[in-house]
Chains A and B, each alone.
Chain A
């Protein structure tokens, strides 16, 4: 999908882009129908088509479905991370448990919401490796490691949703839902950072976890919409920066096994 977008964006002829886009959609639909017919009887295939016409995901443009599936993948990651952490005896101190239970509750709700919106177009949950190939081997036995990754995931989530808002502008309802998730992720990030003794906001591109440097790359920006802002650290803290899909996938990909 990313590759197709890259090809499309290099084309300057709107008519050609339109032809390619509609051809891509026809091929995609034909592929789905073909698969259905091969796997089941014709009446069952018709029933499936009827369902798909009413599924919430069916009417959404591919661009929006791509963003929602990207978000769903991140929510799967966060959800499984917190479920595993809460189930790991002795990991989270009793005094901090209410915080992580609240975060976990929201991430589970986000997964359900995105799955419900995408319907049959929702991507399946990947298999995760929260040790990132052994970089964080004690993630579920050492609270400091767990907290550090939690902060990294939340701050990444904030940047990821922010980076996709522009891709949802054609659908105000979905854009609004994404913004409403985005600010909840920011609440989580602030709380986890402060639990760790950090400020709730991001100063420059600073991080106390060296391997998470990519999470904070670019956060030092102090020029907004062409306005150069005075205030040094405060000017970088006052604005959270977006990450592109590729930047997010490079971070999250370390934790995705398959």
Chain B
């Protein structure tokens, strides 16, 4: 079944390319290449990275699909580190069901992180230094609103990154992860405002019924207060 499916996909993709020989995608690919060259030429930091205890001072995500997957890996590192702390020191009086839910989410994010590292192999960035100084781990609202921020951000990041991937297998894997992030987002939002419209509230889903799609620069800007490591995303497609 999967092989028939991918054969059909390849055949259909091939037809799509025939119909649009000078497609936007081809253009983007070429412009991506030139951008990467410029970025490499301007990057006087090079790859001379220092690695203090607990993480790397600066990383370059790299280019192409691997760069996009490293971008995802960076976000999954952040999420996994956050939920690990949440579960290690849960807020006082946490109901068992809530602890179970957050433990599930922690497990999923750790699996996403470890999967991406394994899939990237030698191209994987190092461990990021993260900080949750702004989070009061003893306070339910502080923890859950931070979780909501991370989950919504993750959803918008994957939604924006899909078009940057060229290998359909990578797009599929990203799709398999993003819907689980969206399931998390809805569950966390429901913990904050049970049985309301908040799980997919008008503050996040627009009037056309669409979740946001954000560019890497926007996402990394929003994540910056939580990531001490300097992330160079300039070679991303």
Asked if A64 CB lies within 8 Å of chain B CBs, one says yes
Q: How far is the CB of A157 from chain B (nearest CB, A)?
A: 10
Contact of A183 among B7, B119, B182 (CB under 8 A): B182
A165 at the A/B interface (Cβ < 8 Å)?
A: yes
User: Which residue of chain A has its CB nearest to the CB of B161?
Assistant: A179
Interface majority SS (helix, strand, loop, mixed), chain A? helix
The secondary structure that dominates the B interface is helix
Which single residue of chain A is at the shortest CB-CB distance from B24? A172
Is the CB–CB distance between B111 and A235 below 8 Å?
yes
**Cα distance A237–B176 when bound, in Å?**
10
Question: Judging by beta carbons under 8 Å apart, are B211 and A166 in contact?
Answer: no
User: Digit string of A145-168 for contact with B (CB within 8 Å is 1, else 0)?
Assistant: 000000000000010011101110
Are B195 and A169 touching (Cβ within 8 A)? no
- Does A170 lie at the interface of the complex (its beta carbon under 8 Å from any beta carbon of B)? yes
CA distance A108 to B178 in the complex (A): 23
Q: Which of B39-47, B48-56, B139-147, B166-174 contacts A (4 or more CB under 8 A)?
A: B166-174
Is there contact, CB below 8 Å, between B15 and A17?
yes
Within A193-248, the residues touching B (CB, 8 Å) are 194-195, 199-201, 224-227, 229, 231, 234-235, 237-242, 244
| A167 close to B9 (CB less than 8 A) | yes
Known interface pairs A234-B111, A239-B180; A162-B7 also in contact (CB < 8 Å)? no
Residue of B25, B115, B177, B212 with highest tally of chain A CB at under 10 A: B115
Determine the chain A residues whose CB is within 8 A of the CB of B1 once the complex forms.
244
Shortest Cβ-Cβ A-B pairs, 8 listed: A109-B209, A172-B163, A186-B182, A106-B209, A190-B183, A186-B179, A234-B107, A102-B197
